Amino acid sequence: MKRNRCAKILATLGPATSSESTLETLVRAGADMVRLNFSHGAHEEHRRRYDVVRAVENKLGRPIGILMDLQGPKLRVGDFVGGKVKLETGATFRLDMEKDLGTIQRVRLPHPEIFAAIGEGTDLLLDDGKLRLRVETFGADYAITRVITGGVLSDHKGLNVPNAVLPISALTEKDRRDLQFGLDLGVDWVGLSFVQRPEDVAEARKLIGGRAAIISKIEKPAALDHLTHIIELSDALMVARGDLGVEVPPERVPILQKRILAACHLAGKPVVVATQMLESMINAPTPTRAEASDVATAIYDGADAVMLSAETAVGQYPVEAVAMMDKIIQQVETDEHYQYLRNARRESPEGTAADAISAAASQVAETIKAAAIVTYTSSGSTTLRAARQRPGVPILCLTTNPRIARRMAMVWGVHSVLDKDISNFQEMVELAVKAAYREGFANIGERIVMTAGVPFGTPGTTNVLRIAWVEGDDSWAE
């Protein structure tokens, strides 16, 4: 199942995409990875979906990465008498920790961490930013606010504090239970929500212990103050534009998206753009022109992957949404301007032998018009280095580790293949040539460029570059 594009598609599973037949159709339409959203659904639901993914993977013979997306802390107000109130602009409104039902004057906010972080003049956003309060006076367990933007406020609506770092771990007790469950299942990526500082990623990495890769979701403005260190500690980043767009003005979100993508590319880390990409396709078979342009912009900016959320989880047209995203990506990647940007975006290699080899592989492949770059890897590092160079040919990742093959499903330009272990260099060359031919990346008479680390099986030791011909009788490809 060779893709005719480099950027990847991440599709969220839900009630609309839980059956094996639907998921198979989704993958055939273009989904490279799937997301299990742990903000919704019981563990047994996620287990069933996980099993369905692995069944489809076995049937199609294509590694499919699975991302478990942790919910993270949810800051919510309590209940109201009658279920809701209407706050008038200019009125005062109290937030406190009393257990009484809320009224037009006050409501319970059971989060002492918020009272510890706010100050006079702090803005508080409610219901995804629809309402805005400004703190006038506060104490250890209360805040008197002025309603800046009024509206209807109902039970359990969320609260955001955009200009403060909250003394809250990114992992709640629920997240910890979910994380253990997901790791025991065998998920490939863990999506870490509510990241504010590098310590949040370090805490998660200690708990995960190498059993899955970490994708840090950038949805808090505070994270942008530590972006470089968060990227260093993460395996990938996600631009979570929904939550980020609540806490920063909408006009800043596109700028921040470009900044995050550029920083990730410089560091050689994959980056996903998410939220509301084809939102109208939840209920319509085609997207708006603005949505198509939004997806295209992410691809022009160098995103490794773009994500569908409700479109595939609960939408009426999940397969059509994936197919449309696939078409948009293919169109962009054939555009001369995209190719110009891709070439201009290539970073200078770092001062290591591994990076020099990877940069040389991209240049050699272009010079000799090779059909593909083949990376033989045990940890994925050789493949990631190749992808960082954004070569003009596909990257074929050969690995004996199914976990690595699945993780690479998120990475730009990479087609993963599980293959047997090797013991010598000549065996690696034969394996690479056969795989390139078998997977449809090279024909008889074409050349491939190979990179690997010797001795084999030692992570991070990319130190070999080799050119090979796909030659002779093709009987070995059977």
d(CA 273, CA 242): 11
Token output for 123: 């803005």
Q: Is 28 marked active-site?
A: no
3-state SS, 83-104, equals HEEEECCCCEEEEECCCCCECC
- In order, the DSSP letters of 460-477 are T-EEEEEEEE--S-GGGG
d(CA 199, CA 233): 9
Backbone angles phi, psi at 213, to 5 degrees: -85, 155
Q: Is 174 marked active-site?
A: no
C-beta of residue 190 within 8 angstroms of C-beta of residue 212: yes
34: number of Cβ within 10 Å: 26
**Active site residue: 8, 35, 132, 388, which one?**
35
Q: Is 252 marked active-site?
A: no
- In order, the DSSP letters of 285-319 are SS--HHHHHHHHHHHHTT-SEEEESHHHHT-S-HH
- State the DSSP H helix or E strand holding residue 145, giving kind and residue range, or none if neither: strand 142-149
* Kind of pairing between the strands at 106-108 and 159-160: unpaired
Backbone angles phi, psi at 205, to 5 degrees: -65, -35
C-beta of residue 57 within 8 angstroms of C-beta of residue 113: no
Q: How far is CA 158 from the centre of its chain?
A: 23
C-beta of residue 325 within 8 angstroms of C-beta of residue 295: yes
**Active site residue: 122, 275, 375, 461, which one?**
275
d(CA 287, CA 315): 13
Token output for 478: 């059977």
**Active site residue: 28, 54, 76, 434, which one?**
76
**Active site residue: 106, 217, 269, 385, which one?**
217
Token output for 193: 């929500």
**Among the listed residues 161, 164, 216, 227, the one whose alpha carbon sits nearest the alpha carbon of residue 194:** 216
Handedness of CA 369, 371, 374, 380 (dihedral sign): positive
Q: Is 275 marked active-site?
A: yes
Residues annotated as catalytic are 35, 76, 217, 275
